[in-house]
Amino acid sequence: MKYSVQIVGVGGQGVLLASMVLGTAAMRAGYKVRMSEVHGMAQRGGSVLSTLRFGDDVVSPLEATGGADLIMGFEPMETVRSMKLGSRDTAVLMNLDPVYPGNVAAGFDTYPGIDVLLNEIKSRNDHVVTVEATEIALKAGKAVAANAVMIGAVAAMKGFPLGRDLLKEVLLETVPPKSTDLNSKAFDMGYEAVSKHD
């Protein structure tokens, strides 16, 4: 068994934390784990990508283009930008709440419509699951819990090999103790949102 996840988003969205939670859970489930992370300059608000591969025999820290079993898109435009990481068989979990790049925020460039972005992926892939992670996180208490929503959501994805309880356990160990309630709630709401989807 081999499974690979490409997590894409924007610096500051908690992509590294999410990949750490998934990776730790995979290790605890008894798999070998190989990951690759982006550090340094890209973290200053740029596009970030974190690769996670686990299974009985993984060696490479990077995945082949198109080889992802799952793309976890923390940001809609970044998900579209990174489509080629997956194939038509790849499961795609896509957060629909955008983070505007500086040039867009300042009014010098325009952000494509969310429906346009969604259509870009849906026209290529039948396994797209969407979630409004930031909005759900706000309902759970705070926007920063959006990554907990995403981790909850991924736990509910069809065919995802790591269990709900394991993922939640690792998540709650990873976040600061004072935000346990918030993250726990956000995780559950993310899970529910995707379960309903099917």
Partner 1 sequence: MADLLSESGKQLLLGNEAITRGLFEAGVRFASTYPGTPSSEVGNLLEEYSERAGMYFEFSSNEKTAVEVAAAAASSGVRSFAFMKHVGLNVAADPLMTLAYSGVRAGMVIMSADDPSAHSSQNEQDNRYYSTLALIPMVEPSDPQEAKDFLREAYAISEKLGLPLLYRTTTRVNHARADVVLGSIMTDTPLKGHFEKDDRHFVNIPAFAVHNRVRLLERMKQAAELSEASPLNRIEGEGDIGVITSGVSYCYVKECVSGVSILKLGFTNPLPEKKIADFIRGRKAVVVVEELEPFLEDQVLRICAQNGISVHVYGKRDGTLPREWEFSPDTMQRLKDIVTVYPAPVPMKGTELTLPGRPPSLCAGCPHRGIYAATKRAVGKTPVVYCSDIGCYTLGVQPPFGTADFIICMGGGAGAAGGFAQATDQKAIAFIGDSTFFHAGVQPLTSALFNRHNIVMVILDNRTTAMTGHQPNPGTGRHFGGIDTDSVDIESVVKGIGVGFVRTVDPYDVLSCVKVMREAIEYDGVAVVISKCPCPLLLKKERTLAKKVCYVDQDKCVRCYTCLRTIACPALIKKDERVEVDPSQCIGCGMCANVCPKKSIEVRQ
CA distance 189 to 194: 9
The two three-digit tokens of residue 51, written as one number: 């690769």
* Interacting residues with partner 1 between 155 and 174 (CB under 8 A): 174
Nearer to partner 1 by Cβ, of 123 and 196: the residue is 123
Asked if residue 42 binds partner 1 (CB under 8 A), the reply is yes
Instruction: Provide the terminal-to-terminal Cα distance of the chain, rounded to the nearest Å.
Output: 25
| Lookup result for tokens 């550090």 | 39
Q: Is 37 a residue that touches partner 1 (CB under 8 A)?
A: yes
Q: Which of 77, 137, 156, 193 binds partner 1 (CB under 8 A)?
A: 77
Q: Quick one: which segment of 118-126, 160-168, 179-187, 189-197 binds partner 1 (CB under 8 A)?
A: 118-126
Sign of the Cα torsion 150, 156, 160, 165 reads positive
- Counting runs of H as helices and runs of E as strands, what totals does the chain give? 8, 6
Counting contacts by CB under 8 A, is residue 126 touching partner 1? Answer: no
Residue 97 or residue 191: which is nearer to partner 1 going by CB?
97
Distance, CA of 93 to CA of 121 (rounded, Å) = 11
- State yes or no: residue 115 binds partner 1 (CB under 8 A): no
Q: Coil, strand, or helix at residue 113?
A: coil
Per CB under 8 A, does 195 bind partner 1?
no
Task: Give 137 or 191: the residue with its C-beta nearer to partner 1.
Answer: 137
Cα(68)–Cα(84) distance, integer angstroms:
9
Helix (H, G, I), strand (E, B) or coil at 168: helix
Tokens for 80, please give them: 């579209």
For residue 88, state whether it binds partner 1 (rule: CB under 8 A): yes
Site size toward partner 1, by CB under 8 A: 63
The residue behind tokens 């995945």 is 63
Which position among 43, 138, 172, 188 is part of the footprint of partner 1 (CB under 8 A)? 43
Q: Which residues pair with 168 in a beta bridge?
A: none
Stretch touching partner 1 by CB under 8 A, among 54-62, 160-168, 181-189, 190-198: 54-62
Give contact residues for partner 1 (rule: CB under 8 A). 10-11, 20, 23-24, 27, 32-47, 58-67, 77-78, 80-81, 83-88, 90, 100-107, 109-112, 116-117, 120-121, 124-125, 143, 174
